[in-house]
Amino acid sequence: MSINLPKPIDAYFAADRGDSEEVARCFTENAVVKDEGHTHNGLAAIKQWQMDSSKKYTYTSKPLASENKDGKTIVTSRVTGNFPGSPVDLRYLFGLEGNKIASLEIIL
C-alpha cells in the first residue's frame, strides 16, 4: 500500500536509504531532529546524525500511515533492520516550513 506524503517528507524517506547529503537537503538551515534521546540542531548535525545511524544500523523504513495533527504531519513507518526489537513501528512527527522539514521527532 502506498500513501500520499507531502513532497519534503516523501523526499526524506527516499533519501533515508543512506545518502546523508540528500537527507540534509530535505531540511531547513536551522532544523531540529530529535531521535533516541538526542537533539540535533542544524544541517551539519542532521547530516552527522544520519551518517552515524547508517553506520550503526542497516535498516529500511516503509511508511504505513499519515495524519495531520496540531500542525504536524505524523507518519507511522515500519522500520526493519539489524537492531534490537526489529521490526518496529515508529512515529515520525514532521514540522514543515515551505517545502522543507523544520523539525522531526522520531518516537516509538
Domains of the chain: total: 1
Ranges of residues in the chain with a pLDDT under 50 are: 1
What is the pLDDT at residue 18? Answer: 67
What is the pLDDT at residue 3? Answer: 87
What is the pLDDT at residue 58? Answer: 86
What is the pLDDT at residue 19? Answer: 74
What does the alpha-carbon distance between residue 72 and residue 53 come to, in Å, rounded to a whole number?
24
Residue 2 in any domain: the answer is no
Residue 1 in any domain: the answer is no
What does the alpha-carbon distance between residue 30 and residue 50 come to, in Å, rounded to a whole number?
16
Query: What domain range includes position 99?
Result: 7-107
> What is the CATH number for 60?
3.10.450.50
> To which H or E segment does residue 27 belong?
strand 27-35
What is the pLDDT at residue 55? Answer: 81
Number of Cβ within 10 Å of residue 46's Cβ equals 23
Give the predicted TM-score (pTM) of the model: 0.92
Residue 4: name the closest of 61, 60, 64, 59 by CA: 64
Rounded to 5 degrees, φ, ψ at 26 are -80, -15
